Amino acid sequence: MASQSVVGFVGLDELSLELATLLLHSGYGVQAFEIPGPLMDDFAKIGGTRCTSPMEAGRGVAAMIILISHRDQLQDIIFGGDGAVKGLNKDVVVILHSTIQPIYIQKLEKRLTEENAAIFLVDAYVSKGVSEVLHGKIMITSSGRSDAIARARPVLTAMSEKLYTFEGEVGAGSKIKMVNELLEAIHLVASLEAISLGVQAGLHPWLIYDIISNAAGNSWVFKNHVPELLKGNDIKHHFLDPFVQNLGIIMDMAKALTFPLPLLAVAHQQLIFGTSHNHRVDDNVPLIKVWEKIVGVSITDAANEEIFNPEENACQITGKGNLVKKIGFIGLGAMGFGMATHLLKSSFCVVGYDVYKPTLSRFANEGGLIGNAPSEVSKAVDVLVIMVTNESQAESVLFGEHGAISALPSGASIILSSTVSPGFITQLERRLQTEHKDLKLVDAPVSGGVKRASMGTLTIMASGTDDALKHTASVLSALSEKLYIIKGGCGAASCVKMVNQLLAGVHIASAAEAMAFGARLGLNTRLLFDFIANSGGTSWMFENRVPHMLDNDYTPYSALDIFVKDLGIVSHECSSRKVPLHLSSIAYQQFLSGSAAGFGRFDDSSVVKVYETLTGVKVEGKLPILKKEIALQSLPSDWPVDPTDDICRLNHSIIKTLIVLDDDPTGTQTVHDIDVLTEWSTETLVDEFRKKPTCFFILTNSRSLSSEKASALVMDICRNICTAAKSVDNMDYTVVLRGDSTLRGHFPEEADAAISILGEMDAWIICPFFLQGGRYTVEDIHYVADSDSLVPAGDTEFAKDAAFGYKSSNLREWVDEKTNGRIPAHNVTSISIHLIRKGGPDAVCERLCNLHKGSVCIVNAASDRDMAVFAAGMIQAEMKGKHFLCRTAASFVSARIGIIPKPPILPKDLGISNENNGGLIVVGSYVPKTTKQVEELKVQCGQLLRIIEISVDKLSMKSIEEREEEISRAADMADVFLRVRKDTLIMTSRQLIAGKTPSESLEINFKVSSALVEIVRRINTRPRYILAKGGITSSDLATKALEAKRAKIVGQALAGVPLWQLGPGSKHPGVPYIVFPGNVGDNKALAEVVKNWSRPVRLSSTKDLLIHAEKGGYAVGAFNVYNLEGVEAVVAAAEEEQSPAILQIHPSAFKHGGVPLVACCISAAEQASVPITVHFDHGSSKQELVEVLELGFDSVMVDGSDLPFKDNVSYTKYISFLAHSKKMHVEAELGRLSGIEDDLTVEDYEARLTDINQAREFIDETGIDALAVCIGNVHGTYPASGPNLKLDLLKDLHELSSKKGVFLVLHGASGLPKGLIKECIERGVRKFNVNTEVRKAYMDSLKNPNKDLVHVMASAREAMKSVVAEKIHLFGSAGKA
C-alpha cells in the first residue's frame, strides 16, 4: 500500500496500538482521536498523528477504525457533532472494532447506508491466537457485504497474522466471540469438576494436571488456568463478572433463536454461584476456595502435598522387570488385536482368545497361538492381558464358565486394560486374593487409538503392587510410548483414566453444542472451527472430533456408546464419592440421548446429531469453491525480492545434493538439465554422487505398488543412498519424496520407511503446491484450480481415487486422516503465506528452526515466489544443522535448486524435425481430466492420428488367451502405423473397472499397465517421439518397455509436462519421451502437445522454400515427375541430402497421370522428412489452371509467354488473383524459350529474351511471386557450342525483382555447366527447373535387362535419384533442409 494511504482510529486500547504499529510497518500513515493519556502518548511515539476529534481523525483516510465497547457509544462517536462520519470522504470503509451484539451493528449499517450510501461498514473482532503457530499473533474476524470486505481487506490483512472474513451480514465477529466464550466457560467448569473428582478419589491434583495436559482430556483452559487455580493465583471477580455477563448475553441469544444450550446453562449457573458467593463473602477469596465449598473437596490442601513423578516410577519399575515368556490375551477387538499383534512383533509368545472366530483366524495368520476359551489361553502363562469392552465382560472371562481364573497358574499376573470403574478394580483385587493362588492384578487402562495400539505407542496408566508391576513391566513397556505408574494401588490408574474421560466427554459434547450453535448463528462452520482451534475455546477433542462433524462422517473411530459407558462410570463415582458434578452429568445425558436416538455405534462426535435433530441445523461445512482471481488477489503481495540467485549461491556453497524419489515420472515437470535414474544400485548412485550434482531424480514408480512394497522399495533405495554417500566423501544430501500434487500416494508409509533408514528428522515438510497444475495451498487448505475457480482438493475426482482416496482438503486434517490419528491435526504446524510474504526467507528459517523435533509442517503457497522464499529459508535452516524430509509436489524441487524456467521444448530444439516415423502416444490414465483431453485430441487431430483402443476388460478380467490376442493386435497395428509415418494413439478403453478394495484396484491397474508395457515392448519401429499419459503408465513404459536406465530431463513440452531424452542402453536412445501427467492441463492440453510434436501436414510452402534460399544464397531444384518412381527418386534424394525440393507436374504429365499423380506427389510431400512442395508447371490453359487450383498444389506457373504482352498480363493477373485467394505461390514467365519440352517446340525465331522494362510493368500489374526469365536458356538440350546466357541481363532483373519481393526462376537447367549454375545463383536465381536429364536417366535405365517389373522400377528410381542428388549439390541446397 502506498505510504500516502492513511488509516484513522477513533478510540484506542492496547490492541489498537499493535494494529497501528502493524499498519505503519506496512506503509500506511495512522492518525487517531483518544482522550489524552498514556495510550495517546504511546500512539504518538510509534509515529501516529494526534487528532482533536473523531471528525478530524476521519479526514482524508482510506479506512476508519472505530473502537466501541458499548452500544451507547455509537451515537456520540459516530454521528455526534464532531462524529467520525462528518470527516469521512466518499467510499471510505469503516471498520467497527467491537463485539457489541450483532443487532446493534446491523442497525448501524442500515443507518450509515441511509444517511451516506458511499460509506462501507465491516465489523472486526480482534483477538490474539493461542495455538503454537499463532501464539500471541493478531487474529481478526470480520464480516460485511462483499464490496465492503474487498475494500477493507488490504487494511485488515496488514493488521493481522490471520484474517477470517464472513461475507454477508455484519456481526460475525460478535457471534464468533460468543461461541468461543461458550466453550471457555464449559471448559473452565469441566476442569474444576475433573480436579475435584480426582482429588476425592485420592489423586494428587498436580499429577492429574501433568498427565491430562498431555492427554486427550486437555484443553487450552485446562492447560493455562488449572496451574493458576492450584497455585492460588486465581481468576478474580473483576474478570469473572463481565465474563458471566457475556454468558448471560449468549443465553439470551439462544433463547431468542430457540436453541438449547444445556451445557452452557449449567456452566453459567456454576459461575454465577461463584461470583455471587464472592460478593457476599469477600471479593478477594480465590475461585478455587469458593468451588471447594460448593463440592466439599479440599483441592488446595491436596495441591500442597508431596507429589511423585509417575514417569520416573515407570523407569524404576521397568528397570527391574521380570522375564515374561508367555502371554495370554483375551479380547481381540480393534484395540486388542493391535496390542496383541504388537506383542508378537516384540518377540513375545502370545495366545489369544476372542468370541469372534474370524478374528482368531486373523490372529493366527499373524503368527499368534489361539485358544477356544479364556481358560485355554490362561494355561501356563506368565501374564494375562484383558482388553474387553466393559465390567460385565471382564467378570465373565475371569470367573464365568471356562473362565481364566481356574486355569491361571499360581503367581501369574493379570493386566486389566479395559476402561472400568475404580470400584470394580478394587473389588476384583480383593476377589483374586480369595483364590489363594498369589494372582497379581495390574490396573492399566490405555489411551491412544487403534493405530497406536498396533505400533506399541499407547499411553498407559498403571497401578498395582510393586510385585505386580515388576512382573508385568516388560509387557507394559512393549505396549506403550508413555507409561505412567500411579501410586495408590489398584484403582488409582482407573481413577486417572476416569478423570481424563470426564474431560474428554465434556469436551466432545461442548464442541457439538458450540458448533451447532455457531451454525444456528449463521456462521461458516469451517471458518468457525479454524478460529476456535487457534483460540481459548479449543481442546484436544475439539480439534480432533469437529472435523468429523464438518465432514458429516461418523465412521466409528471411537463409538458414542463408549462415552455412555465412561461417563456412566463418572456418574456412578461422583455419586458414591459424594461429589456433585452437574456439568459432567448433563454431558452424560447428551450421550445417552444420542444412543437412544440410534447413534450409539456411530463415532462419538455424532453427539452433535442430538442438537441437529432437535433444532434442524446442519453443522456439516463443505469448504466453499473460491473465485480464483478474487482469492489470490486477497492475499498479501509477494515478497519483493526474488531469492533464486541467493538459492543458487547457497546451493553452491553448501555442496548438498537434493535427491528426489519420484513416485511416478511426472515429478520432473518443473526442472531441466537434470538426470533421472530408473535403477538405484550402489554403484550407479556412487557414479552420480561423484558428479557432485545439485540434484538428481530416482524414479521409484512406487505409486503403482502396494503400501508394503512401496515401503520396502523406499527403504532399499535409502540404504543404497546412505552407503553410496559415505563412500564418496560423506556427501551431504536431502531426500525429497516427490508425490502427487493432488495428494495421492503412499503417505505416511513412504515417509516412515525413509525415516527408519535415514534417522529422525527435525521436521517433515508437506508442500503439494504446483503452479503449472493449478494446485494452491491457502490457509492450510489445498485447492485444485478448475477454470476460474479453486476447488478444495477433497471435493475433486482425485480424492475419490480407488487406491489413494481421501476426504480432507485441510492439510492438517489430511495428515491426521492418512496417519489414522497417529499424527493428530492439532499437532501439525504450518508456514503461512502471510509469514512467507511479510517475513521472507529469514522468517521461514526462524520458523523451521523453532519446530519441535519430529514435527510435521505444512507449507502454504500460491505463487512460485512463495515457493522460492520458502526454499531459501529452508536452505538457511539446513546450514544451521537442521535436517528435513520433504513430501512435495514438483514446484518445490525447482525452487529448492534454483531452476530458472525456460520455454516449452519443440522438435526443432532437439533437431528431430526431419525424423520420418510417426510418434507414439500411449494413454493409460483414468482420471476424468485425461478422458476429456483424449476426446479433445480426437476432435482436433483425429484425421492425422491412427487410433488403437485396447479393451481393459480383456486385459484385466478375461482369459490369458484373450489378453494375449489383444496385446498382439495392438502391437502389430502400431508397428505398421508408425512405419508409414502416422502418429499413433494407443489408449485403454475409458470405462473404469475398479476392484472391491484398494488392493484389488491396484491389481487391475497393474494388469493394464503391464499390458501396455508388453505392447510397447513389441513395437520395433523407432518412434519419432513417445508420449505417455499418466504417471504409472509413463514410468512403466520408460523402465520396462523401453528399458531406460537413465534419461536426461531436457525441459517441458508444455507447462507441467516433462520432456526427457532416453539415455544410452534404452531401446530407443535419444528418442524424446514426453511424460504427460494425468491431472495436468486443460482439456486442450494433450492436443496442443501432439500438434506441436506431430509432423506437419506440409512442412513448407514453395514461397517458404524460396525465402530460405534467398537468405541462404542457394537455389532449389524443381524436378518434373511423371510416375511413382520419379516421385520416390526426388524425395529419396532430397532426404538423403537433407535438401528442400519441388515436385513439378507438367500439363502433359497431368494429362496422363491425372489426379492420382497429384495425390501421389502431395502424399509424398506430406510424409517426407525434408521440405517438399508440389508445383504445377507451364499452365497455359485457363480452364486447366482453374481446375488445378482445387487439387492441393502449393504453387502454379501461369505460362502466357506465347501471348502478346498485354494478354499475358491479363491472363496472369486473373490466375494470380484466384491462386492468392487460396494462399498459393504464383510463378509466371516473361519472354520465350527455344527448345523442346514435353513435345512442345519453340523455334529460335519465336524465342525472345525478357525485357527489363516489361518485367517491371508485368510484376506490378500481376502481383506474381516468382518470375521465370529468358536470358538465353533453352528447354531441352543445349547446342554443341554450349549455352549462351545473358548474365548482365540476369543481374539487372535480379536488382529489379529483389526490390519487388519477387524470386527469379530459370527454366532449362538441364545441361548447364557447374560454373554457369553458380553464376546464375550469385545473380539471384532461386529456382531451377530440371526435366531432360532426369527423364534421360529413366530412359537409359530401361536399356539394361531386368528380371522383373519391380527390378525395372527400382533401377529407374535409382538412376533418377542419382541425377537429382547431383543437381541438389549443384544448386547448393544440400544440408539446407
List residues with catalytic annotation: 497
Cell of 713: 522399495
Please tell me whether residue 126 adopts helix, strand or coil conformation: strand
Q: Which residue has the cell 566423501?
A: 729
Identify residue 861 by its one-letter amino acid code: A
The CA distances from residue 440 to 247, 316, 403, 495, in Å, are 51, 19, 16, 19
Calpha distance 662→639 (Å, rounded): 29
| DSSP states of 600-652 | TTSBGGGGHHHHHHHH------PPPPEEHHHHHHTSPPPPSS--HHHHHHHHH
Helices (H), 980-1069: 998-1018, 1031-1036
CB 887 within 8 A of CB 741: no
CB atoms inside a 10 Å sphere around CB 1220? 14
User: What does DSSP say about strands 763-767 and 440-443: parallel, antiparallel, or unpaired?
Assistant: unpaired
Helices (H), 281-399: 287-295, 299-303, 310-319, 334-345, 357-365, 374-378, 391-399
Calpha distance 791→776 (Å, rounded): 10
CB atoms inside a 10 Å sphere around CB 1098? 17
CB 974 within 8 A of CB 984: yes
CB atoms inside a 10 Å sphere around CB 1091? 15
Could you give the angle at which helices 560-576 and 172-200 cross, rounded to 10 degrees? 50
Cα 88 to chain centroid distance, Å, stands at 46
Calpha distance 815→747 (Å, rounded): 8
- For residue 227, whether the previous peptide bond is cis, meaning omega lies within 30 degrees of 0, is no
CB 701 within 8 A of CB 709: no
Beta-strand ranges (E) seen in 1148-1244 are 1172-1179, 1195-1198, 1225-1230, 1234-1237, 1240-1242
CB atoms inside a 10 Å sphere around CB 511? 28
Please tell me whether residue 594 adopts helix, strand or coil conformation: helix
Calpha distance 642→636 (Å, rounded): 16
Calpha distance 1015→998 (Å, rounded): 26
Calpha distance 915→889 (Å, rounded): 34
Please tell me whether residue 989 adopts helix, strand or coil conformation: coil
Helices (H), 728-799: 749-758
578-605 b/e (C-beta count within 10 Å ≥ 16 → b): ebebbbbbbbbbbbbbbbebebbebbbb
Could you give the angle at which helices 466-479 and 310-319 cross, rounded to 10 degrees? 100
H helix or E strand, kind and range, residue 57: helix 54-57
CB 930 within 8 A of CB 742: no
- Please choose, from the candidates 400, 497, 407, 403, the residue with its C-alpha nearest in 3D space to the C-alpha of residue 443: 497
Calpha distance 167→153 (Å, rounded): 12
| DSSP states of 1124-1173 | HHHHHHHHHHHHHHT--EEEEE-HHHHHHHHHHHHHHHHHHHHH-SS-EE
